[in-house]
Amino acid sequence: MSEEVEITFLGGAKQVGRSCFLVSSQKGNFLLDSGVNLGESEEGKYPLDPPVKPDYIILTHAHLDHSGYVPAILSKYRCKLISTPPTQDITEILATDNLKIAKETGETVPYNMNDVMLIRKNSFDAYFKVRYKLRNDITVTFYNAGHIVGSAMVKLTIGEKNIFYTGDISTRHTRTLEMADFKAEGGDVVIMESTYGSPEDKHPSAQKTERQLISDLNKTIKNNGKVLIPVFAVGRAQEVMITIDDYMRSGKLATAPVFIDGLIIRINELYKLFWEWLKPEIQKRIRYTRQSPLDSDMFYLVKDRESVCQMPEPNIIITTSGMLEGGPSIYYLKRLAGSENNMIYLTGYQVEGTRGRMLLEGAKQIKPPQDELIDVNAKVCFADFSAHADQPGLINFITQLTNKNTILCVHGEETKTIKLSEKLSQIKGVSAYSPSVGETIRV
Ligand SMILES: [Zn+2]
Ligand SMILES: [Zn+2]
């Protein structure tokens, strides 16, 4: 008799944030990711509690919307974790940083530093395209997802059933990574991200995005303005840094000091440590030049924030957080947003409810945490540097999978998951659906 398997959506369904799916069977219980919702302050920030003790967390990548609740789960259930080595190390840094921020803001966090240390104590390393046995009759295989360093798609095999989860995927090459592995076979059930799942979600070409960024930066530098680029510390920061460095070197971007501040500095250390997880072209460049592009002499690490803000010359500041929810980007926002000569350049998806989203929607006043409202006169721009596939990319990816009977669309705003599932249902032999938080689906 074939095994009965259930998937319960504890978070990340009809929403971006707190991705957490429980796959349970008589042979074992497995959590696919365990993230937080960055756009929520309290209720809805964390996933629902799993109704059974998980045996393993299978972690696709280190972004907080997938990994932010991992220490809490490890603490409560003392389960094991399996992921790629970069994912473990970056998850540990992000969790540690989160504790530091919470100490400063007085926010409560559902774990402590001892719990964070469980990540290294309870983890197993996974490499791409190797089948790992988790229990009798249960295996997991990781495949490159092309999203950030070490990011993976996973195939969980329980008896004869295959559950394939994309995590977050990029279906085109970026400056640091090769695109998602299209040779992954899929599964009887495919759990698929839908961040850009609507038909109108079509990314411009990477070249066009880069040219737009460079032209905007040139204008501001010429006007003696300063540019604040809030980025996600993991992935986006390194993509933006390498892009700016390349254009400055070739003379297409006016030379100005590029300041790097915040958590990016520590994440860059891991991008350097795990250089063999980057795409072959970058590996070659590092071998020939004996230097990481992240160590370029165009970059300056910030020692004193105020002196950067007071510099009479134009400059570019790349810092966290990417949605202006915390970190040094708030400091710079307060100092730079008032002047119309300056520019705030958002480079990634802005979750509903975040300050980044409000700016993008044209807000002329923003309230920093524990501070007065500030006027925004600076220009607000957006470059679509997304490391997520757009709708055509997602459809192309699904079309090429061999196994894809049922597709469950997650990790997207409600309308996007629904629109994507409608679109995917049109593919012959495919039934697609977008589940809700709390729902259980029998496989
Ligand atoms: Zn991600
Ligand atoms: Zn995500």
Structure confidence by residue, pLDDT tens digits, 399-414 = 999 999 999 999 999 9
Cis amide bond preceding 321, omega within 30 = yes
Above 80 in pLDDT, residue 220?
yes
111 or 106, higher pLDDT: 111
Question: Separation of 97 CA from ligand 2 center, angstroms?
Answer: 18
250: DSSP letter: T
Residue 381 pLDDT > 90, yes or no? yes
Ramachandran category for residue 122: left, alpha or beta (phi over 0 → left; psi -120 to 50 → alpha): alpha
Q: Provide CB contacts within 8 A for 103, sequence distance 6+.
A: none
Homologous superfamily (CATH) for 6-199+387-442: Ribonuclease Z/Hydroxyacylglutathione hydrolase-like (3.60.15.10)
Q: What is the pLDDT of residue 268?
A: 98
Distance, in Å, from the CA atom of 432 to the CA atom of 443, rounded to the nearest integer, reads: 13
Q: How far is the CA of 65 from the centre of ligand 2 (A)?
A: 5
User: Mean pLDDT over residues 425-439, rounded?
Assistant: 96
Query: Ligand 2 center to residue 17 CA distance, Å?
Result: 7
Residue extents of the structural domains in the chain: 6-199+387-442, 206-382
- What percent of the chain is predicted at pLDDT more than 70? 100
Closest CA to 170 of 200, 203, 141, 198: 203
DSSP-based three-state secondary structure for 379: strand
Mean pLDDT computed over 1-19 = 91
% the chain with pLDDT above 90: 91
| Cα 147 to Cα 169: distance, rounded to the nearest angstrom | 5
How far apart are the CA of 171 and the centre of ligand 2, in A?
Answer: 15
CA atoms lying within 13 Å on the CB side of residue 295: 12
3-state helix, strand, coil in the chain (%, to 5): 30, 25, 45
* 411 Cα to the center of ligand 2, angstroms: 7
CA 352 / ligand 2 centre spacing (Å): 14
Say how far apart CA 122 and CA 124 lie, in whole Å.
7
Contacts of 22 (CB under 8 A, 6+ apart): 6, 7, 8, 10, 29, 30, 31, 32, 50, 51, 52, 54
Strand (E) or helix (H) holding 371: none
Looking at the CA of 351, which ligand is closest? 2
* Whole-angstrom distance, CA of residue 271 vs CA of residue 237: 11
Please give the Cα distance from 204 to 195 (Å, whole number).
Answer: 16
Report how far ligand 1's centroid is from the alpha carbon of 377 (Å): 31
Confidence of residue 1 (pLDDT cuts 50, 70, 90): low
195-226 b/e with 16+ CB inside 10 Å = b? bbbbeebebeebeebbeebbebbeebbeeebb
Cα-flanking dihedrals φ and ψ of residue 215, to 5°?
A: -65, -40
The ligand placed nearest to the CA atom of residue 90 is 1
Distance in Å from the first CA to the final CA of the chain: 14
Q: Is 280 exposed, middle or buried (0-12, 13-18, 19+ CB in 10 A)?
A: exposed
Flag whether pLDDT at 246 surpasses 90.
yes
pLDDT of residue 143: 98
Class of the 206-382 domain? alpha beta
Q: Ligand 1 centre from 24 Cα, in Å?
A: 24
Gap from CA of 222 to ligand 2 centroid (Å): 36
219 CA from centroid of ligand 2 (Å): 33
What is the reported pLDDT for 2? Answer: 64
Measured from the Cβ of residue 440, the count of other Cβ atoms closer than 10 Å reads 12
> What are the pLDDT digits (tens) for 267-316?
999 999 999 999 999 999 999 999 999 999 999 999 999 999 999 999 99
């696709």: which residue's tokens? 60
Please tell me the pTM assigned to this model.
0.94
For residue 129, report the distance from its CA to the centre of ligand 1, in Å: 20
The per-residue pLDDT for 269 is 97
Structure tokens given for 324:
């202006």
Render 292-308 in DSSP notation, one character per residue.
Answer: -GGG-TTEEE-S-HHHH
What single letter denotes the amino acid at residue 168?
D
- Cα-to-centroid distance, 186 and ligand 1 (Å): 20
- Region of poorest pLDDT, from 9-23, 96-110, 145-159: 96-110
| Distance from Cα 253 to the centre of ligand 2, integer Å | 31
Residue with tokens 């919470």: 102
For residue 339, report the distance from its CA to the centre of ligand 2, in Å: 33
Distance 412 CA to ligand 1 centre (A): 12
Query: Ligand 1 centre from 372 Cα, in Å?
Result: 32
Give the ligand at the shortest distance from the Cα of 63: 1
3-state secondary structure of 288: helix
Confidence of residue 38 (pLDDT cuts 50, 70, 90): confident
Rounded Cα distance, 129 and 155, in Å: 10
Cα of 169 from ligand 2 centre, angstroms: 9
pLDDT at 325: 87
Q: Closest-lying ligand to the alpha carbon of 386?
A: 1
Question: Could you tell me which residue, 2 or 435, shows the higher pLDDT?
Answer: 435
- Ligand 2 midpoint to CA 227 (Å): 26
Mean pLDDT, the chain, integer:
95
Which ligand lies nearest the alpha carbon of 193? 2
From the CA of 301, how far away is ligand 2's center (Å)? 28
Residue that has been written with the tokens 């966090």 in this structure? 109
What ligand has the least distance to the C-alpha of 16?
2
Cα distances (angstroms) measured from residue 423 to each of 14, 348, 398, 414, 416: 16, 24, 11, 14, 10
Give 147 Cα–ligand 1 centroid separation in angstroms.
7
How many C-beta atoms lie closer than 10 Å to residue 361's C-beta? 10
Alpha helix segments (H runs only) across 6-58: none
The DSSP bridge pattern shows strands 315-319 and 365-366 to be unpaired
| pLDDT higher than threshold 70 for residue 234 | yes
Question: Looking at residue 137, what is its pLDDT?
Answer: 96
User: Could you give the angle at the alpha carbon of 271 between the alpha carbons of 66 and 120, nearest 5°?
Assistant: 55
Over residues 361-365, mean pLDDT:
96
* Token code pair at residue 325: 């929810």
Q: Is the pLDDT confidence value at 42 over 90?
A: no
CA of 35 to the centre of ligand 2 (A): 9
Is it true that 6-199+387-442 and 206-382 share their CATH fold? no
**Ligand closest to CA 234:** 1
Which ligand lies nearest to the CA atom of residue 387 in the structure?
1
- The answer to whether residues 56 and 81 touch, using CB atoms and an 8 Å cutoff, is yes
